[in-house]
Amino acid sequence: MKVIGNILWFILGGLETAIMWFFLGLFWCITIIGIPFGLQSFKFARLALWPMGTTVSMNFGKHAIMNILWFLLGGFGLAIMYVLLGIVWCISIIGIPFGLQSFKFAKLACFPFGAEVGKAAAPAPAAN
């Protein structure tokens, strides 16, 4: 189901979102000061391509000052946008998986510095 979900996500806006985040990252990387913000934008671009089956683990304390700057310079607005988009997706039963991915993006949009995007753990086999 993750593969089908990722293909649908990709077709329904994942590619455009990833391209947007990629060019935003390039824009940030023009200046030396913006490079850390550009690297975080590339993290969003990678996640925007295939978000199903991934997890986002937060570590705010790793780069607290950069997270606060990100939050104040637009992270709060991004998080609100992704939460509202997630609510809209969750209105229909079919859209719930896409809404959950939007909530994942909202979490990452708040404090991306120190956050790690990885594969979701496979469920443990049932005991007989």
Rounded to two decimals, what is the model's pTM? 0.79
> Low-confidence residues of the chain, pLDDT below 70?
120-128
Angle at the Cα of 75 (from 73 to 78), degrees rounded to 5?
125
Condensed to tens digits (0 to 9), the pLDDT of residues 72-108 reads 988 899 899 999 999 999 998 888 998 998 998 888 8
